[in-house]
Amino acid sequence: MKDSDFIEQRDRVSQYFLRWIPVLGFNHWRLVFQFLRTEQERDERQRALNAVTLLQTDPKWEYEHARFTVFLSTIQRLIPEDDDLEWHVVHELTHLWLNELHDADHHPSPDLWLHEERVCSRITTAILATRDAVCAAPTTWARETGKAEPAIVYGEEDSDGDCEATYSVGLQSAQNVVKRAKSDGSGAPAGKRA
């Protein structure tokens, strides 16, 4: 995967995480992303289901922490449409809600795993259908209220050309709002952000 393709696919995926993390209520979670150029090797279960992994979620619900592994070359090859990519990102985020149903080792039985996938798929379809039917763009609220908008902060690439990233709704964005407010003389955050 060329560097330009890596950046393009990473940014495609990131925009949907940025859109949906606050909407689904995961702003307070510690979310880490690993963007990989390689495709994941399929395990026995995936081969049996003829499944391919685009994104993998490893939540630790008891700590409100999760790691997302993103297989960018697979996404580039199989998901050319952004609507499909958005669906997959929302689907992975819904796993954060359902992971508590697993046993203490975080390893669901094969039956439970299939049920979780089905429930995540139904919830995702319902969320996106609701959004399409009644909601404005999810990030409009942040812009209109002057709240800090979220960001994904990318780390350095490793020797394989992969990189990790961290989700932040935080201080840097909030500090920028305060700096802007102080510079206009009001001393308080502005009602709208540029």
58 is a domain residue: yes
149 is a domain residue: no
92 is a domain residue: yes
**Residue 68 one-letter amino acid:** F
29 is a domain residue: yes
Pairing of strands 151-157, 30-36: unpaired
CATH of the domain at 113: 1.10.10
Signed CA dihedral, 135, 139, 144, 146: sign only: positive
Domain count, the chain: 1
Confidence of residue 35 (pLDDT cuts 50, 70, 90): very high
Helix axes 3-23, 82-98, angle to 10 degrees: 50
φ, ψ (nearest 5 deg) of residue 44:
-60, -45
Indicate if the pLDDT at residue 147 is higher than 70.
no
Distances (CA, A) of 45 to 98, 106, 113, 126, 143: 20, 17, 11, 27, 43
Average confidence (pLDDT) over 161-185: 52
52 is a domain residue: yes
For the chain, the average pLDDT equals: 75
155 is a domain residue: no
Domain that holds residue 39: 3-137+161-167
194 is a domain residue: no
Under 8 Å between Cβ of 126 and 136:
no
Strand, coil or helix: what is 80?
coil
pLDDT digit string, tens, across residues 58-112: 888 889 999 999 999 999 988 888 888 999 999 999 999 988 877 666 565 666 7
177 is a domain residue: no
Distance CA 52, CA 12 (A): 19
Indicate if the pLDDT at residue 24 is higher than 90.
yes
Average confidence (pLDDT) over 142-152: 61
